[in-house]
Structure 1
Amino acid sequence: MATPRRRLAASAIVALSVTAATVVASGTAFASAPAVQTVQSVPTVQPAQSAQSAPASASFSLPAPTGPYAAGEDTLHLTDTSRLDPWRPASGYRQLTVSMFYPARRGTGQPAPYMTLGEAQGFVQYRVPPGFGVTPESVAAVQTGAFAAAKAAPGKFPLVVLSPGLENPRATLTALATDLASHGYVVALIGHPGEDSGEQLADGSISPCVTCGSGGPPADVIAASRGVDVKFAIDQLVDHHVWALSHLIDKHAIGMAGHSLGGAAAPLAMEDDPRILAGVNMDGSFQQIMPPGALGGRSFLMLGRDEDHTAGGSDTSWSDTWPALDGYKRWFAVTGASHQAFTDIAILGQEAGIPLGYPLDAFRGAQITRTYVEAFFDKTLKGCPEPLLDGNSAAYPDVAIQS
C-alpha cells in the first residue's frame, strides 16, 4: 500500500498542469541531436529526408542474446481504469504499452520488429539528427534477436520490469530485455505514453510527448507517476493474468531496472510495492532522497558513468541515496560511458556513424550493462553466487566498484 506521502504525490499527478516547472530531461539521444519537440500522432510514415539528399539507408542490428533460451516477444496494451492519464486527462484512462520478453524454444516464432512504423517515425523525427541515413523503415527493421509468437520454454521465471529514460521509447532497452529473457527471465518493458517520442496505443494512434522539453512537469512528479505505472503493470501480470503467458512468471521473484528517469523511478516503485525485491538505477539522478530503511532491506544496484556517478561525483543524489540503502547493495561506475551507453541508442548511433562524444565502444557498453544487471538479478532473484559483484574484475577493467 502507498505511504501517505506517495499517495499525495500520485493525486497531485492527475491534477498537475503540464505547463508546470521545467522537467529535467534524460538528455538528447545523440551528441548532435536537435532539441526534442512535441510528437504528434501520425497515421502514415513519411520519409525522414528527401530522396535527393538522403544517403543510403542505414542497417542496424543489436547484439544477439547470449543465454541458452531464445527470446520470445509479445505486446500488451493495458488500461488503468482507476486513474486518468496524468498528462492528458481529457484523453481518458491511463494506457500503457508493454513489450513482454520471455524464455522461448529455439527455432520457433518470427523475427520481431523493433518498433512499429509510427513509433519509428517519432523516434527518427525527434531523437535522431538528420543526414545519417536513419529512416523510420530502417529503425523499425532493426534486428533484435527476439521472436514474435515463439513457443515459451517450460517452467517459471523471475519477472523484471524495465523502464526507459525520459524521452526514450521503450524499445531502446531491447538489447537488455532480450538478453535477460535468454537467461531465464520474463521481462515487462514498459512504454510510458506521453513521456517519449511516441508509443503506439491500442487504437493504433501514437501518443504525443507531453512531458518532453521545457515547460513540462517536474522530474520527481514524472518518476512518481512511473511508480504507479509499474505497480499497475505488475498487478495485471501476476494477479489478473492478463497476459496469455502469465503462468511463466514467478510472482515471488520480481525486480525492476530503469535507465535515467526510469532508474530514478525504481526506488519509488519499490517503496510502493513490496513485491519488488531488487532494483537497479542505470545512470539516473535520484529524484527523492529516501529515508533510511525505506526499502526494508531489499537489494539495489547503482550502475552509472564515471563522469558524474562516482563516489563524490557531481551528481550528489547518488552519494546522498547510498546510506539509505539498507539491504544488499552495489555501486559501479563505467569509464568513458555516455548517458546512452546503457541503452540501444549508443549502438544505433555508432552503427549509423553518428558521433557520440564518449570513448566507450557502444557494444562494450551493452556487454557491461547486460553482464552486471544480469549478475545482480541472478544473485538477488535466483540466489546464485556472483563474485563479479564483489569488487573490481580483470575482465571488466572499465568498471570500478565505488563502495
Structure 2
Amino acid sequence: PATPYLTTEEARLLLDFQVPGGNVPSEAATGLHPWARTDARPASGRFPLVVLSPGFTLPRATLTGLAEDLASRGYVVAAVDHTYETSGTTFPDGRTLTCAICRDPAPDTFAAVPPSRAKDISFVLDRLTGPRPAWPYAHMIDRDRIGMAGHSIGGNSAAGTMAADQRIRAGVNMDGKFFDPFPAGGLGGRPFLMLGTQSVHNPSGWDTSWNDAWARMDGWKRWLSVTGSDHGSFTDGPLIGARAGLPDPEATLAPLRAEKITRAYVGAFFDLHLKGIPQRLLDRPSAAYPEVVFQQP
C-alpha cells in the first residue's frame, strides 16, 4: 500500500493553520499519492543517511518529494517531526499532538528553535546508529556519510546541528533565515549549500543573515537563488495548495518545476559530498535550469 502522506488529523490541522477559517477539506493533503510504499524491501548494502528538518509549523510530510528523490538516488532518509513545533504530529499509537508555540511565539523563540532541533537530530542519530538501534534496517546506514537538509528554520538548524554534532558531514539550508547565527568559527571545513528565493536571498536582499553566514563558511560552499520561487517552493506546500484551489500568488515558478529544481540541486550536493561523485551542476549555471542563479557576494 502507498505510504499515507499525512494522517487525516495532521492534514486538518495543517490546512486549518495555513488557511484559518478557509474550511479547506483535509482531502487536499491526504489525497496526494507519493511513490513511497510501506513494507518495501530495502536494497542490500550500506548507504549514506540524510536527515530532513521541516519549516516552523510544518510537518515532515511537506518534504516528501525531496525525501523520495533522495531515496531513489540511494540514500537512507529520515524526515523528522519536531513535536510541539508543528501544526500536528500523529504518533504510532494514534495520538496527535499540536503546536505549543506556533500561534504567538515569544520574540526569542525563533533563535531558540535551532539549538533545540540540534538536540532532536542528535537523538535521532543516536537511535539510528547507536549500539541498539530503533530501526531494524539500521545496518544499511553508513555512519561515516551523514548529511542534513532543512527548509526555513530547519535549514538554519542544519548549520547549528553540524556545529553541535560532528557526525553530520554536509548541510543544506533551503530558504531559511539564520535566526540563530551561522557558527562564528565555521564548520571545520565541512560543505554547506544555501538554496533560496531570488527575491529575498540575493546579496542585496532584505535577509542579510545569508551574507553573514557566507562570510563565516570555511569549507566548500554555494549560494544559489531560484528566480520565480517563494518561501514554500522548496517543499510540497505549493502542490497541496494547488489541490486545494489555493494557488500561490507570490511564486511564478510552477510547483512541479520548483520541486524538480530542489531535487536536482540538493541531490547533486549530497552526491558530491557524501558519495564523491563530481557534479558539474554545482560548478556553473546550467541551461537546463536557467532559473538558478549562482551568487558571488
- Scaled by the length of structure 1, the TM-score of the pair is 0.70
Indicate the residue corresponding to 1:195 in structure 2.
85
Indicate the residue corresponding to 1:247 in structure 2.
139
Indicate the residue corresponding to 1:101 in structure 2.
none
- Contact 2:160–2:183 (Cα < 8 Å) also in 1: no
Paired residues, what number? 293
Indicate the residue corresponding to 1:233 in structure 2.
124
Indicate the residue corresponding to 2:39 in structure 1.
149
- Mapping 1:299-378, distance limit 5 Å: 299-357=191-249, 358-378=251-271
- Misfit runs of 4+, over 3 Å: 128-132, 290-293
Distance 1:291 1:197, change over 3 A: closer
Indicate the residue corresponding to 2:189 in structure 1.
297
**Aligned-residue identity in percent:** 48
Q: Quick one: which amino acid aligns to residue 165 of structure 1?
A: G
Task: Please give the secondary structure, in 1, of the residue aligned with 2:78.
Answer: strand
Given candidates 268, 274, 278, the residue that maps to 1:385 is 278
Given candidates 90, 95, 114, the residue that maps to 1:223 is 114
Task: Please give the secondary structure, in 2, of the residue aligned with 1:251.
Answer: strand
In structure 1, C-alpha distance between the alignment counterparts of 2:105 and 2:176, rounded to whole Å: 21
Q: Quick one: which amino acid aligns to residue 220 of structure 1?
A: A
> 1:294: Cα distance to partner?
2.8
User: Can you give the 5+ residue segments of structure 2 that lack an aligned partner in the other structure?
Assistant: none
Distance 1:360 1:380, change over 3 A: same
In structure 2, C-alpha distance between the alignment counterparts of 1:311 and 1:376, rounded to whole Å: 21
Higher relative contact order (CA 8 A, sep 6+): 1
Indicate the residue corresponding to 2:59 in structure 1.
169
Distance 1:124 1:234, change over 3 A: same
> 1:218: Cα distance to partner?
1.5
Indicate the residue corresponding to 1:135 in structure 2.
25
Indicate the residue corresponding to 2:172 in structure 1.
280
Indicate the residue corresponding to 1:396 in structure 2.
289
Task: Please give the secondary structure, in 2, of the residue aligned with 1:115.
Answer: coil
- Mapping 1:27-46, distance limit 5 Å: none
Distance 1:118 1:291, change over 3 A: closer
Q: Quick one: which amino acid aligns to residue 284 of structure 2?
A: G
Larger Rg: 1
Distance 1:292 1:139, change over 3 A: closer
Residue-by-residue CA offset, 1:142-173 (whole Å, 9 max, x unaligned): 10111000111111110000000001111100
| Larger helix fraction of residues | 2
In structure 1, C-alpha distance between the alignment counterparts of 2:235 and 2:168, rounded to whole Å: 22
In structure 1, C-alpha distance between the alignment counterparts of 2:26 and 2:144, rounded to whole Å: 40
Q: Quick one: which amino acid aligns to residue 200 of structure 1?
A: T
Indicate the residue corresponding to 2:150 in structure 1.
258
RMSD of aligned Cα (Å): 1.5
Q: Quick one: which amino acid aligns to residue 161 of structure 1?
A: V
Indicate the residue corresponding to 1:107 in structure 2.
none
User: Can you give the 5+ residue segments of structure 1 that lack an aligned partner in the other structure?
Assistant: 1-109
Task: Please give the secondary structure, in 2, of the residue aligned with 1:148.
Answer: coil
- Scaled by the length of structure 2, the TM-score of the pair is 0.95
> 1:140: Cα distance to partner?
2.1
